[in-house]
Every structure is written in structure tokens, then in C-alpha cells.
Structure 1
Amino acid sequence: MDLDLQGSIERFTLPEILQLIASSRKSGTLGIQKDDSIVMIYFKEGEVIYGYGPRQTFHLGQLLKERGVLNADQLDEAIKLQAQADNSKRLGEILISKRFIDRADLELVVRTQVEELLYSLLSWQTGSFKFYEGQFPTDEEIQVRLSVENVILEGLRRLDEKNMIKETLPDLEAVYTISATQAGRPREINMQAKEWNIMALVNGRRSLEQICELSPIGREETIETLAQLSLAGIITKTDRRPEGSTVNLEKMVNRLANLFESYVTEKSVNRMTDRNITKTTLERVD
């Protein structure tokens, strides 16, 4: 069944779009455009395998230089050879053929390049997107396998804009549960200690407010962490009511009734005491 996925980023956030493709285990290309910037993300069975943007700043040669596996002279030579070939050859292909780098170096840097591209996309608040199922503009020899959950989590950790994160959880009385893993789809999530600690409190019965009360970290940080887990598709909202909500109400009613009974009893005792004192006083006067 084809996935008809296209529209505006203003209506669907990129984490939601990536989640949908991942959960459907689709293969194809997600094209995203903002002004004159176009990015293509390749998927295979719901995992990211490649990505590129004509104007991306995470250039392969620069990343190789930063890792110390390529020097400036080698990069300049490879770029000149690429220009002589009218850009018909990939820079990585030229670098390997000249033995400036090996395949392992290239695979590692391509992975970093794709990751950085995806992280930068999460800050996009405007633009349009379309998913081309089963279609790939180019045949990439070097491919990676990236979990959408991990990409979203790490991207949100780096994101300065907090509005998208906080708006994800407008109702703190809602109950969330751990998302089920799709059959046949491996799930290896790289989470920080605080994220594991917060996720451990999500049991399908507690409200987000109750989780905030039990959290070992601050309230605002807890809410942001819960929002990140939700955007990454790791936790999902349910229709259940928070545990203890009815019980707590009954306890409050019973406590109020007990207090009222104690108050009435105390008043009765005080009135009886006052009467006894008055009677005794009158008897003495007589």
C-alpha cells in the first residue's frame, strides 16, 4: 500500500513525518524544501540510509579534514580532479581511488554527514515535504543505517528552540505508555541516563503530572524530556485515566467527612463541658 505523504511542515512537524515513515517501515525518498534549499532523505524499511542537500554545510572533505584522515593538499587535488570530470565522479570515490582515505574512513564520515544533516532539519519550522515511495534519485554505494528514534532524540537535545518541544505535551493529566516495537523492526535506542530514568516512570497508568512529581530531576527538564521521548515515538499517549485519580478523590472526601465529624464531636464536647461548668457554678451560688 502506497504512503501518500505530502504537505506543509507547519501542519506536520518533521519528527512526526519521520516517525510515520519509520513506523510504516517504508522505503523511498523524503524530499523536503524550504525556500531554495532542498534536502533528500533515503529510507529503507523505515531506517535512514542516506541523505544529501545541495547547500548543506557538512561537506565531506571538511569532515575528513577535521577527523585528521585527509590534509588540505589532498583535498584540493581531489576537488580539481572532480572538476575535470565535470563532477561526474563523487568526491569520496576519487579520494579512495587516490588512496588518500580508505572505505572505512568514508563510511564513518558519510554517517556523520547524514546525521548532521538530519539534526539541522529538526529546526525547520516552515517548508514543504513529499515522500516518493520506492524511488531513489541516485544509487548510493556508501549507505548507513540510522534509527529514526535516535536521530530525533539527539537532534532535539541539540535544538535551541524549545517551543516545539513544550507544545508537544499540552495536557499534563494525559497518560502515556511505552510504544510497541513494530514486528521485524530492530530497536536500539541510545538514551542518556536521565532519559532512561524518566522513561522508567512511564507505565501506562501515571499521568505526566504524577511523573513530574516522582522525577529525580527538575519539573521543566522532566517535561522537556517527556516531550522528546514523545516526539521520537518512544512513548505514546493513551486514553486511560491516571491511576489513583478516583482513589485520591475518595480519600479527600473521606478525610473531609472525618474532619467534619471531629469538628462536630469537639463542639458537642465543648458545649457539654460549658453546661457542666455553668451548672456547677450555679449550685455553688445557691
Structure 2
Amino acid sequence: MAIEGPLRELGIHDVFQLLDLSRKTGTLRVTSDLRGDEGVVRFEAGRVVQAVVRSNPAKVEELLVQSDRVTAAQLAQARHAVAAGNGAGNVGAELVRLGAISRRELERQQRLQIESVVFELMSWQEGFFSFEDRPPGEPAPQIDIRVSTESLLMEGARRIDEWSRIADRIPSLAVVPTLAAVSGDEQAQLDLLPYEWEVLANIDGTRDLRAIAQAVGRAEFDIARTVYGLASTGVVELNTAERRRSGAVRAAAAADEHLLQARASLAAGQLDSALASALAARNAEGDRTEARLLVARVLSRLGRNAEALDELRRTMQADPITPEVHRDLAFAAAREGDLATAYAGWDHYRRSVPDASDLGQVDEAEQSLRRFHDISEAVLRG
């Protein structure tokens, strides 16, 4: 029997506590129409073993490459071995077997990734949750790490408290720290801990806190706390008020507001209003894939499929990496009869996000399209 309901009636913190106390094994899905996002958390006997969120689908092994803990060549070798059936069962275990990374460091990075997703979900105040027990007889997935749900809840509560303390100087992870200027006649000697030096070395005036966290392979909260300490001692500057007045930040804030309005209108079925807000978001910050995808989705809902396809082709040129671009382009191409583009897009999406929650919908759409094509061919042959 599924456990489900709106978050306004049972908060996400209470949902996690319920699954922990009842030692549940299965999958929790949390969706937010307002954010256009979905999180998936898998439990084994009440412990969290995997967590992903659609808005940041990077896998642990990809984060290892971003933080220079393994090389792209080592990752490719591990993936090839696993795909060929010659590896250690999954990519992470194969990287350990190859000696690219230690088991301890892999588990640390896996835990950081789980924590990042769970703490993101804990900030959601609206949405819908649904938990499904793993069906009897279904084989258990290979599990590399089990994280205590109780410890996640306690750490989440602690972070909320500490965030309130540092929020006056670090209101969000979008803050971009810069090195403080030092006059030529000053003689300064820094006495920093190793992890503080590591963070300091990655402050270049362009990276925000989230990017720094990815670069050093540490939790976003820990980076925020470290930068707060460096700012408090005058080593780095934040100048958040100036950045909020800057054009880039104003554009991002405007785009965020328009996106929220667009999603709310879309959820209410107000398609013309949703399109106007989505276009405003795209125009405010033209390089944001999220806004471009939303414009195309609303156009599709309005039946303006050719325009949606054109929008997605432009999005693909600007961002060929995001898996959702390939997925949405495939659906739009299918509606316009471009079968080759549709099949290629769906195939790319499957390979990029093999555990995506909507693969069933993708498979069903492709099967329907192939059946329609076969019937059409048969009719034409007479």
C-alpha cells in the first residue's frame, strides 16, 4: 500500500521520520509543480541508500571527475568494463577495483551526494510525496552505502539553525566570493587549516559557492560555512549587496520570479499566462535551459508544436548536455513526424539517465510511435 499525500499536510521531515521508524524498504518520490522538480530517495530498512533530484542529475562518478578525484579516462574505462560485464558490478565499485579511488573516498562522496539531495528536499514546503514498498520477490539493488535517516534529520535541523546564523552574509549558494585586496605595504601571514586553503585556492571571482563545492568535492553547506569564516576574518569579500544590484543577479532574480509564475499558471491550466511568464524568464536570462524548456512545454500544451520544436532545437544548440533537452526534443520531434530525431533523443536520454523516473513514459511513447509507423507503412504498401 502506497504512502502518499501533499507536503502541506505531512512535512518532508515527518515523512523521512516515518519511513525511518517503520524501517521501510522502497522508493520515495517527491514532486513540486512550483519548482518543476522531482526527487527520488531509495530506502533499505529505513536507511537511505540512494538519492537523486531531477534539477541536478549528476551522478557520483561524474562529480568525481569534476573534482579531479578520478580522470575522465578512468571513468570511461570503468563504464566500458561494467557495460561489457567484465567489471565489479557498478561504476563506483569498478573505479575502486581499478585503483582510481579508495573505497573510503568513494563512500564519502556518495554520502555527500545523498546529503545534498536530502537537504534540498527538506527545504521544500509544497509538493506531493509518494512512497512505494519494493515488491516482494524483486531483487535488491547493489548497495554501496547506507546512510542513517536519523543522522540526516539531525544534521538537516542543525544546518537550518546554522544557516540562519550565516544568512546575513551568505543568503544563498549563488554568492560569488572574491579575494580581499591587500595593499602593497602590508605584510600579512595567513594561518589557515588545510581545507580552508583548498577552498581559498578555488576562489577566482567567478565561481559561486555551489561551483566551489563541486570543484573541491565537499558539501555545499561546509563550503558556505568556510567562506563565511574567511569573510569574517577579512580574507575574502562577498559584497552581496553590490551583486544583488548587478545586472546579472537582477536578471537571475527576475528569471526566477517569472519561472515561478509560469509554473503556477501552467499548474492552474492558464496556458497563455504561463507562456507569457516563461517567455519573460527566457528573455530575462536567455542562457537558462530551464526557461527555454518551459517555453517549449507550454507551446506544446497550446498545440503550437512546430514552434516548440524550433525552440528546442535552439536550446539543443545552446545546451547539448542536459538530458531533459534531448528528452523534450524527442517528444516534440515525434509530434511533428521527425522519427529519426525522436528515436535519437530518447536513446540519448536513456543512456544519460538510466534510472530516470519517467523512462516508462519514454518507452511507451517510442513503442506507440513505432507501431504507428509500422501501420502507416503497411497501409502505404496496400
TM-score relative to the length of structure 2: 0.34
Question: Higher relative contact order by CA 8 Å / sep ≥ 6: 1 or 2?
Answer: 1
User: Considering only CA atoms, is the larger Rg found in Structure 1 or Structure 2?
Assistant: 1
